[in-house]
Amino acid sequence: MVYDLQKASMWKRASAWLLDMILLGIVAVGFAWLISGTMHFDTYSEALDEAYLKYETQYGMSFGITQEEYAAMTDAQRQSYIDGYNALAADADAMYAYNMLISLSLLITSLSLLMAYLILEFFLPLRFRNGQTVGKKIFGVALMRTDGVKISAFQLFARTVLGKYTIETMVPVLLVMLIFWGSIGITGTAILVGLLILQIALMSVSRTNSAIHDVLAGTVAVDMASQMIFGSQEDMLSYRQRINAEHAARQDY
Protein backbone atom coordinates (compact mmCIF):
# COMPACT_ATOMS: atom_id res chain seq x y z
CA MET A 1 0.00 0.00 0.00
CA VAL A 2 1.08 3.60 -0.67
CA TYR A 3 0.04 6.85 0.92
CA ASP A 4 -0.11 8.82 -2.35
CA LEU A 5 -3.61 9.21 -3.76
CA GLN A 6 -4.77 5.97 -5.37
CA LYS A 7 -8.06 6.98 -6.96
CA ALA A 8 -10.56 4.21 -7.62
CA SER A 9 -11.10 3.59 -11.32
CA MET A 10 -14.22 4.98 -12.92
CA TRP A 11 -15.56 1.53 -13.78
CA LYS A 12 -15.27 0.45 -10.13
CA ARG A 13 -16.97 3.62 -8.93
CA ALA A 14 -19.70 3.32 -11.57
CA SER A 15 -20.34 -0.34 -10.74
CA ALA A 16 -20.49 0.37 -7.02
CA TRP A 17 -22.79 3.34 -7.62
CA LEU A 18 -25.16 1.30 -9.81
CA LEU A 19 -25.47 -1.48 -7.22
CA ASP A 20 -25.98 1.04 -4.43
CA MET A 21 -28.70 2.86 -6.41
CA ILE A 22 -30.55 -0.41 -7.04
CA LEU A 23 -30.48 -1.22 -3.33
CA LEU A 24 -31.42 2.37 -2.47
CA GLY A 25 -34.42 2.18 -4.78
CA ILE A 26 -35.60 -1.10 -3.25
CA VAL A 27 -35.30 0.21 0.31
CA ALA A 28 -36.90 3.58 -0.56
CA VAL A 29 -39.87 1.89 -2.25
CA GLY A 30 -40.34 -0.30 0.81
CA PHE A 31 -40.38 2.72 3.11
CA ALA A 32 -42.69 4.58 0.72
CA TRP A 33 -45.15 1.68 0.81
CA LEU A 34 -45.13 1.62 4.62
CA ILE A 35 -45.45 5.39 4.98
CA SER A 36 -48.18 5.72 2.35
CA GLY A 37 -50.23 3.06 4.11
CA THR A 38 -49.80 4.80 7.46
CA MET A 39 -50.84 8.16 6.01
CA HIS A 40 -53.79 6.74 3.99
CA PHE A 41 -52.45 7.93 0.64
CA ASP A 42 -54.71 5.55 -1.30
CA THR A 43 -57.80 6.99 0.41
CA TYR A 44 -57.14 10.46 -1.02
CA SER A 45 -56.19 9.00 -4.41
CA GLU A 46 -59.46 7.07 -4.63
CA ALA A 47 -61.45 10.16 -3.57
CA LEU A 48 -59.86 12.23 -6.32
CA ASP A 49 -60.40 9.49 -8.92
CA GLU A 50 -64.08 9.38 -7.96
CA ALA A 51 -64.34 13.15 -8.37
CA TYR A 52 -62.68 12.96 -11.79
CA LEU A 53 -65.08 10.23 -12.90
CA LYS A 54 -68.07 12.15 -11.55
CA TYR A 55 -67.38 15.34 -13.51
CA GLU A 56 -66.12 13.54 -16.62
CA THR A 57 -69.42 11.64 -16.75
CA GLN A 58 -71.53 14.70 -15.93
CA TYR A 59 -69.91 16.95 -18.55
CA GLY A 60 -69.01 14.33 -21.15
CA MET A 61 -65.29 15.10 -21.18
CA SER A 62 -61.96 13.74 -19.96
CA PHE A 63 -59.39 15.48 -17.79
CA GLY A 64 -56.57 13.31 -19.15
CA ILE A 65 -56.14 14.97 -22.54
CA THR A 66 -53.11 16.47 -24.24
CA GLN A 67 -52.74 20.06 -25.43
CA GLU A 68 -53.09 18.83 -29.03
CA GLU A 69 -56.38 17.10 -28.18
CA TYR A 70 -57.64 20.22 -26.44
CA ALA A 71 -56.71 22.37 -29.43
CA ALA A 72 -58.61 19.99 -31.75
CA MET A 73 -61.87 20.29 -29.76
CA THR A 74 -64.91 22.06 -31.08
CA ASP A 75 -66.14 25.15 -29.24
CA ALA A 76 -68.89 23.09 -27.58
CA GLN A 77 -66.44 20.40 -26.45
CA ARG A 78 -64.02 22.99 -25.15
CA GLN A 79 -66.79 24.67 -23.18
CA SER A 80 -67.79 21.33 -21.65
CA TYR A 81 -64.18 20.77 -20.62
CA ILE A 82 -63.96 24.23 -19.04
CA ASP A 83 -67.27 23.73 -17.21
CA GLY A 84 -66.16 20.34 -15.91
CA TYR A 85 -62.79 21.73 -14.79
CA ASN A 86 -64.46 24.65 -12.99
CA ALA A 87 -66.89 22.28 -11.29
CA LEU A 88 -63.99 20.13 -10.11
CA ALA A 89 -62.12 23.19 -8.85
CA ALA A 90 -65.22 24.30 -6.93
CA ASP A 91 -65.56 20.88 -5.24
CA ALA A 92 -64.00 21.43 -1.80
CA ASP A 93 -63.64 17.69 -1.08
CA ALA A 94 -61.94 17.04 -4.42
CA MET A 95 -59.53 19.94 -3.96
CA TYR A 96 -58.73 18.80 -0.44
CA ALA A 97 -57.92 15.31 -1.75
CA TYR A 98 -55.80 16.84 -4.53
CA ASN A 99 -53.82 19.06 -2.15
CA MET A 100 -53.33 16.16 0.25
CA LEU A 101 -52.01 13.99 -2.58
CA ILE A 102 -49.44 16.63 -3.51
CA SER A 103 -48.37 17.17 0.09
CA LEU A 104 -48.20 13.46 0.87
CA SER A 105 -46.32 12.73 -2.35
CA LEU A 106 -43.63 15.21 -1.35
CA LEU A 107 -43.55 13.96 2.24
CA ILE A 108 -43.48 10.26 1.37
CA THR A 109 -40.81 10.75 -1.29
CA SER A 110 -38.65 12.83 1.04
CA LEU A 111 -38.94 10.53 4.06
CA SER A 112 -38.50 7.27 2.17
CA LEU A 113 -35.38 8.51 0.37
CA LEU A 114 -33.96 9.98 3.58
CA MET A 115 -34.42 6.71 5.46
CA ALA A 116 -32.88 4.72 2.62
CA TYR A 117 -29.88 7.05 2.44
CA LEU A 118 -29.34 7.00 6.20
CA ILE A 119 -29.38 3.20 6.31
CA LEU A 120 -27.35 2.42 3.19
CA GLU A 121 -25.08 5.46 2.92
CA PHE A 122 -24.50 6.38 6.58
CA PHE A 123 -25.19 3.69 9.20
CA LEU A 124 -24.00 0.77 7.07
CA PRO A 125 -20.73 2.52 6.04
CA LEU A 126 -20.11 3.27 9.73
CA ARG A 127 -20.41 -0.46 10.32
CA PHE A 128 -18.20 -1.44 7.36
CA ARG A 129 -15.76 1.44 8.05
CA ASN A 130 -13.83 3.57 5.56
CA GLY A 131 -17.14 4.86 4.17
CA GLN A 132 -17.86 1.63 2.34
CA THR A 133 -21.39 0.94 1.16
CA VAL A 134 -22.45 -2.50 -0.07
CA GLY A 135 -21.42 -1.57 -3.61
CA LYS A 136 -18.10 -0.07 -2.54
CA LYS A 137 -17.26 -3.11 -0.41
CA ILE A 138 -17.99 -5.52 -3.26
CA PHE A 139 -15.98 -3.54 -5.83
CA GLY A 140 -13.10 -2.60 -3.54
CA VAL A 141 -13.74 1.14 -3.22
CA ALA A 142 -13.25 3.11 -0.01
CA LEU A 143 -13.58 6.70 1.15
CA MET A 144 -11.04 8.87 2.91
CA ARG A 145 -10.29 12.53 3.47
CA THR A 146 -8.38 14.22 0.68
CA ASP A 147 -5.28 14.28 2.94
CA GLY A 148 -5.27 10.49 3.37
CA VAL A 149 -6.94 10.30 6.79
CA LYS A 150 -9.98 8.10 7.40
CA ILE A 151 -13.36 9.75 6.99
CA SER A 152 -15.12 10.96 10.13
CA ALA A 153 -18.74 10.30 11.04
CA PHE A 154 -19.49 14.01 10.58
CA GLN A 155 -18.01 14.02 7.08
CA LEU A 156 -19.92 10.88 6.17
CA PHE A 157 -23.16 12.44 7.45
CA ALA A 158 -22.54 15.67 5.49
CA ARG A 159 -21.67 13.66 2.38
CA THR A 160 -24.83 11.58 2.69
CA VAL A 161 -27.45 14.06 3.87
CA LEU A 162 -26.26 17.39 2.46
CA GLY A 163 -24.58 16.15 -0.69
CA LYS A 164 -26.26 12.98 -1.90
CA TYR A 165 -29.73 13.32 -0.37
CA THR A 166 -30.38 17.07 -0.48
CA ILE A 167 -28.47 18.47 -3.46
CA GLU A 168 -28.10 15.48 -5.76
CA THR A 169 -31.43 13.75 -5.10
CA MET A 170 -34.15 15.84 -3.48
CA VAL A 171 -33.49 19.07 -5.41
CA PRO A 172 -33.82 17.28 -8.80
CA VAL A 173 -36.76 15.16 -7.58
CA LEU A 174 -38.69 18.18 -6.29
CA LEU A 175 -37.96 20.15 -9.45
CA VAL A 176 -39.20 17.28 -11.63
CA MET A 177 -42.36 16.96 -9.52
CA LEU A 178 -43.01 20.71 -9.72
CA ILE A 179 -42.43 20.68 -13.47
CA PHE A 180 -44.84 17.74 -13.80
CA TRP A 181 -47.50 19.57 -11.78
CA GLY A 182 -46.98 22.72 -13.83
CA SER A 183 -45.86 24.76 -10.82
CA ILE A 184 -42.49 25.68 -12.31
CA GLY A 185 -41.33 25.90 -15.89
CA ILE A 186 -38.10 26.91 -17.59
CA THR A 187 -36.47 27.94 -14.30
CA GLY A 188 -36.69 24.41 -12.92
CA THR A 189 -35.30 22.94 -16.14
CA ALA A 190 -32.42 25.42 -16.09
CA ILE A 191 -31.53 24.46 -12.50
CA LEU A 192 -31.57 20.77 -13.39
CA VAL A 193 -29.30 21.33 -16.38
CA GLY A 194 -26.99 23.51 -14.26
CA LEU A 195 -26.65 20.78 -11.61
CA LEU A 196 -25.88 18.20 -14.27
CA ILE A 197 -23.22 20.40 -15.88
CA LEU A 198 -21.65 21.11 -12.46
CA GLN A 199 -21.57 17.40 -11.62
CA ILE A 200 -19.95 16.48 -14.93
CA ALA A 201 -17.43 19.33 -14.66
CA LEU A 202 -16.35 18.37 -11.14
CA MET A 203 -15.93 14.70 -12.04
CA SER A 204 -14.03 15.58 -15.22
CA VAL A 205 -11.62 18.34 -14.23
CA SER A 206 -11.09 18.10 -10.47
CA ARG A 207 -7.85 16.47 -9.28
CA THR A 208 -9.76 13.76 -7.42
CA ASN A 209 -12.54 13.42 -10.05
CA SER A 210 -15.02 13.89 -7.22
CA ALA A 211 -18.77 14.47 -7.42
CA ILE A 212 -20.62 17.24 -5.56
CA HIS A 213 -21.10 15.16 -2.41
CA ASP A 214 -17.38 14.40 -2.13
CA VAL A 215 -16.38 18.03 -2.74
CA LEU A 216 -18.74 19.20 0.01
CA ALA A 217 -17.49 16.62 2.50
CA GLY A 218 -13.81 16.87 1.57
CA THR A 219 -13.62 13.17 0.70
CA VAL A 220 -12.34 11.09 -2.20
CA ALA A 221 -13.11 7.59 -3.46
CA VAL A 222 -9.96 5.43 -3.48
CA ASP A 223 -8.87 1.92 -4.34
CA MET A 224 -9.12 -0.08 -1.12
CA ALA A 225 -6.44 -2.60 -2.08
CA SER A 226 -3.67 -0.09 -2.77
CA GLN A 227 -4.53 3.02 -0.75
CA MET A 228 -3.02 3.56 2.69
CA ILE A 229 -5.62 5.24 4.94
CA PHE A 230 -4.36 6.74 8.20
CA GLY A 231 -6.27 6.61 11.45
CA SER A 232 -5.56 10.24 12.30
CA GLN A 233 -3.79 13.31 10.95
CA GLU A 234 -1.02 12.76 13.48
CA ASP A 235 -0.44 9.25 12.12
CA MET A 236 -0.32 10.62 8.58
CA LEU A 237 2.16 13.38 9.45
CA SER A 238 4.35 10.99 11.43
CA TYR A 239 4.46 8.51 8.56
CA ARG A 240 5.32 11.14 5.99
CA GLN A 241 8.04 12.58 8.20
CA ARG A 242 9.55 9.12 8.57
CA ILE A 243 9.39 8.49 4.81
CA ASN A 244 10.96 11.88 4.09
CA ALA A 245 13.70 11.24 6.65
CA GLU A 246 14.48 7.85 5.10
CA HIS A 247 14.55 9.40 1.64
CA ALA A 248 16.87 12.18 2.84
CA ALA A 249 19.16 9.60 4.47
CA ARG A 250 19.44 7.65 1.21
CA GLN A 251 20.28 10.85 -0.67
CA ASP A 252 23.31 11.38 1.56
CA TYR A 253 25.01 8.30 0.21
Of 224, 226, 204, 223, nearest in space to 215 by CA:
204
- Give bridge partners of residue 221 from the DSSP assignment: 143
pTM of the model: 0.84
Q: Tell me, what's the pLDDT at 70?
A: 87
pLDDT tens column, 113-151: 999 999 999 999 999 989 999 999 999 999 999 888 999
Note the pLDDT of residue 179. Answer: 76
How far is 102 from 180, CA to CA, in rounded Å?
A: 11
Q: What is the pLDDT of residue 233?
A: 86
Contacts of 98 (CB under 8 A, 6+ apart): 48
Q: How far is CA 173 from the centre of its chain?
A: 8
**Helix orientation angle between 41-59 and 75-90, rounded to the nearest 10 degrees:** 140
In the chain, where the domains are located: 10-252
The confidence band for 2, taking pLDDT boundaries of 50, 70 and 90, is low
The confidence band for 90, taking pLDDT boundaries of 50, 70 and 90, is: very high
Q: What is the reported pLDDT for 241? A: 82
Mean pLDDT over residues 190-208, rounded?
Answer: 87
CA distance 111 to 94: 25
